[in-house]
Every structure is written in structure tokens, then in C-alpha cells.
């Protein structure tokens, strides 16, 4: 035999038995006695209207937008993997070539202090590289007061040449 207990929970009670909760009961009065009858649900389907419909529409729209963005990102990643990345050309340029490029881009003449400012090297390194380039005849260094003017061959100021060199040109 199973024992049943009616437990009220704020005007609604459950029927508890040995097998568990058997259903919701609605309190009522029949012939002066308090009885519990099974709770009946309305036959009409759940209707969404007003703010509930707008909220549902918003959730669906956000889900669609999120999935579209996720698909687009995956396609972009695949396209990036398929195309080779451009390698920077500065990666394979030696320090000496870098200095020659800087001087060439500045019309064949450039102050040593501007070279130091243009590259991420110490003054000593730039001075050493310029001395090596001058020894090889790739540049000429002219002293202007407290600064050096670095020139490519053929770009030296005419006042810096000897009278013989100026006549030969």
C-alpha cells in the first residue's frame, strides 16, 4: 500500500506518494470540505505577443548575425592561409645597403646625424659602417663644422673638390 500526503505550497499542493510526485492539485471546496482536484491547464496554445514577440525576434536576429559573422571569419582565415604572405624587402638588405639606400633616397647626400636618426642603430655603428663604405670607395664623407656630410660618388658638392677635379668634370 502506498501512502499519499497532500503538501500545500501556497495555494497549490502536490500529491506525494511512494512512487514520487503524482501531479499538481488545485485547492477547492466541495460540500463544505476542502478537497484538491488536479490542476487543469488552458487548452489554448501559448501565445506570444507584444514585448515577448519582439524579444524572440531579437534573439533570433542576433543568432543569425552571429552565425554569419562566424562563417565570414572562417572563410577569411582560409583565404589568408591560401595566399602567400608578402615578405618585407628590408629583411634581406645588409646594413651597408640600407645606408646606401637612405643616401640615394635623399638625393645622394645626407648628414650623418640624419642617418643615425633614420635607423635604429647606435652612432658608433653608423660611424663604423660609414668608415668601411668610405674605405671601399662607395661613399665620401665631408667634414662640415662638427658634422659629416655623406655623399655617394658623383654627388659631392663642387666646392669640396680640388680645382683639378672640378676642371676634369
**CATH number assigned to the domain comprising residue 130:** 1.10.10.10
> pLDDT tens, 7-51?
444 554 545 455 554 455 555 655 666 655 555 555 555 566 777
> pLDDT tens, 70-119?
988 888 877 776 555 554 555 788 899 999 999 999 999 999 999 999 89
Distance between CA atoms of 105 and 99, rounded to whole angstroms? Answer: 10
97/31 same-domain check: no
- % of the chain at pLDDT higher than 70: 58
Mean pLDDT value of segment 125-149: 92
The mean pLDDT of the chain is 75
34/99 same-domain check: no
- Asked whether residue 84 is domain-assigned, the answer is no
The CA-based dihedral angle spanning residues 97, 98, 101, 105, taken in that order and rounded to the nearest 10 degrees: -170
From the list 125, 139, 68, 72, the residue with the least C-alpha distance to 95 is 125
* Residue 62 banded pLDDT, cuts 50, 70, 90: very high
With 0.85 as the threshold, say if the pTM is over it.
no
Q: Which domain holds residue 144?
A: 93-168
Amino acid at each position: 500500500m502506498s501512502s499519499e500526503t497532500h503538501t500545500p505550497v501556497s495555494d497549490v499542493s502536490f500529491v506525494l506518494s511512494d512512487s514520487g510526485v503524482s501531479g499538481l492539485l488545485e485547492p477547492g471546496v466541495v460540500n463544505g470540505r476542502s478537497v484538491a482536484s488536479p490542476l487543469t491547464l488552458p487548452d489554448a496554445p501559448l501565445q506570444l505577443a507584444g514585448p515577448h514577440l519582439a524579444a524572440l525576434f531579437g534573439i533570433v536576429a542576433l543568432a543569425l548575425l552571429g552565425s554569419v559573422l562566424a562563417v565570414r571569419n572562417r572563410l577569411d582565415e582560409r583565404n589568408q592561409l591560401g595566399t602567400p604572405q608578402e615578405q618585407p624587402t628590408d629583411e634581406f638588405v645588409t646594413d651597408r645597403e640600407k645606408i646606401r639606400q637612405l643616401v640615394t633616397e635623399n638625393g645622394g647626400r645626407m648628414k650623418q646625424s640624419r642617418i643615425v636618426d633614420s635607423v635604429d642603430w647606435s652612432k658608433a655603428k653608423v660611424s663604423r659602417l660609414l668608415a668601411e663604405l668610405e674605405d671601399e670607395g662607395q661613399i665620401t664623407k665631408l667634414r662640415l663644422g662638427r658634422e659629416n656630410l655623406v655623399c655617394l660618388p658623383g654627388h659631392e658638392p663642387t666646392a669640396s673638390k680640388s680645382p683639378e677635379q672640378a676642371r676634369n668634370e
